[in-house]
Amino acid sequence: MDAHRLNRRDAMRAGGGLLGAAAAMSLVTRTARAEPWTWSATDSVVGSGGGADPLTTWDPEADPVVANVMDNSNVPEVNRLLATWTHNTQPLPDGLPKELADFIEYARQLPSWTDQTKLANSFEFTKKRGLYLGVLYAFASGMMSTVIPHEALAVYYSRGGTHLKDRIAKTAKFGYDIGTVNAYGDGGEMVVTCVKTRIIHSAVRHLLPQSPYWPAGVTPITQDDLMVTWHSLATTIMRTLTAWQLRIPPAESEGYLHSWQLAGHLLGIRAEYIPATWDQANAQAAQVLDPILAPTAEGINLADQLLNLGANLDLTLLSRGILGAFTRFIMGDKVGNWLNIPREPVWSPLLEVAWGPFVAVREGVLAVAPAVDIPYWMFDEFLRQFAMWYVAELRMPLSIEIPLTNR
């Protein structure tokens, strides 16, 4: 085994033995669904569809275009040109391969069901809860990705597995762009971010099957995988905020969903799979997301790297232990145990006792915090410091590029 490859034996010994090994094999065994695909396309944003199992579909519009560019074009030059395309309505740079430029012009178009009023309501939602969202994208969605076997393996064995900080920064950009005032309009960047991400997914589909560590005959990032990732973001965020008993006006809740519906479309998810309501999103997540969460050796390794983000933050406040405590608190003990995240003796009980009242005060449900000896200001400081890091990462030069290699 090459030195760069994860020592699976050590990772499994640390993280669950046979359970970890079985979950790691799910990449192969889940190419066929044990139960039939039953979520109805009538519950989708367009209300109809062919009903094909998303495990058997990929992205036939993007994949041949990107594969041809990677095999026959100067990819570094393509990446240099794409780096100059940053805003939604900006013309594409001259010099791109024609078939790629034609695909991007097609892929950047918003669907007919785009609702500008809902997008405005989505921004109102983000304005009020932006501090929560940054933390949740990291500790709910980000850490959940490490217990989604397909995603963990695809990330680990692709270039992202060895450039995790860069990948995290680009994920942060995704979360930031979707919450801006004109995310999908003039001056916004979300359309560009989504279309470039869609291109990267196609590039990974082309590259990963060439890796000696990847199961033969398996093409990564199916429509099912895209949907699972969508739910790890949109649905998981709304589930968590609901569990925290935030009082979210229905228009803002629907607006936030709509922003993610558009993101799904621009990422190449077929319209028949994009849920029309939160109830339908929860029903779909119960089929495609909840049952498949499991530890893998690769996911445990990625989670360990994510927890080391504290090295780049305020070490007096945001240490590995605190990051782990937030992960365990938000994701639950089962996921915390899967990822070998210990219960932190100070922050874990503090979060369990004080986070609910803290959120209630911030939301105006309680006028003042209960009179207990708990430093509520620490939560505000945590959110502030994390937001500062989140924004600082976005100030770095970021370019979502077509990868040239696997891990």
Q: Give the separation between CA 260 and CA 323, rounded to whole angstroms.
A: 26
- H or E, element range at 133: helix 116-136
Is 311 within 8 Å of 267 (Cβ atoms)?
no
Per-residue model confidence (pLDDT) at position 8 = 39
SS3 44: strand
The CA distances from residue 232 to 103, 145, 186, 350, 379, in Å, are: 27, 7, 28, 26, 24
Q: Give the separation between CA 178 and CA 83, rounded to whole angstroms.
A: 19
Q: Give the separation between CA 229 and CA 23, rounded to whole angstroms.
A: 17
Is 272 within 8 Å of 46 (Cβ atoms)?
yes
First CA to last CA across the chain, in angstroms?
Answer: 14
Backbone angles phi, psi at 237, to 5 degrees: -60, -50
Q: Give the separation between CA 299 and CA 182, rounded to whole angstroms.
A: 35
Q: Give the separation between CA 295 and CA 24, rounded to whole angstroms.
A: 8
Per-residue model confidence (pLDDT) at position 350 = 86
DSSP 192-255: HHHHHHHHHHHHHHHHGGGSTTSPTT-----HHHHHHHHIIIIIHHHHHHHHTT----HHHHHH
Q: Give the separation between CA 239 and CA 248, rounded to whole angstroms.
A: 12
Angle at 288 between CA 223 and CA 12, to 5 degrees: 100
The CA distances from residue 204 to 43, 105, 196, in Å, are: 30, 21, 12
Q: Give the separation between CA 49 and CA 251, rounded to whole angstroms.
A: 27
The CA distances from residue 269 to 122, 174, 359, in Å, are: 20, 16, 34
- Structural tokens at position 262: 């558009």
- H or E, element range at 259: helix 250-266
For the chain, 407 residues long, the average pLDDT of each consecutive 10-residue run is 40 38 46 76 96 94 98 97 96 98 98 98 92 82 91 87 65 84 95 96 96 90 97 95 91 98 98 98 96 95 82 59 88 95 90 83 65 63 68 60 86
Q: Which residue has the tokens 């997914």?
A: 201
Per-residue model confidence (pLDDT) at position 101 = 98
SS3 157: helix
Is 138 within 8 Å of 386 (Cβ atoms)?
yes
Residues 6+ apart with CB under 8 A from 218: 27, 28, 31, 209
Task: Count the neighbouring beta carbons within 10 Å of the beta carbon of residue 122.
Answer: 26
- H or E, element range at 263: helix 250-266
Count of all residues that appear for the chain in the document: 407
